[in-house]
Amino acid sequence: MQKIPITQAAPGMVLAQEIKNSDDPSSMTICGKGIKLTESLIARLTQMGIQSLRVEGHPVKVEGEASLQEMLADLDKRFIRVEGDDLMKKVKEIYRRQIFRSMGENDGR
């Protein structure tokens, strides 16, 4: 899931979180989770003053943001001293799966 500005939204992206009328959780839902964005929907959301939205995956490359490969290399570097520890291997695997999920990828298996 990635939070992006509405200006970077593109047709075909899928909402990962519903869009509400305000920050109040009890406010009216404008658009539901799982909806595929279209040009007209993006235009309507922009006209309604929606500034950002959360989309599935990681479709937008943000300048200065680490790539999947860079994040995995950093993870390996952080756990290098505890390679023989079975518990730490499990912890590392949990982090590795979370990195894949955050980037909208399958878990690499």
pTM over 0.95: no
Give pLDDT, residue 109. 54
The CA-to-CA distance between both ends of the chain, in Å, stands at 19
- Residues with Cβ within 8 Å of 66's Cβ and at least 6 positions away in sequence, in order, are 74
Under 8 Å between Cβ of 68 and 103: yes
3-class SS of residue 85? coil
**At what angle are helices 86-102 and 68-78 packed, to 10 degrees?**
160
pLDDT band at 108 (very low <50, low <70, confident <90, very high): low
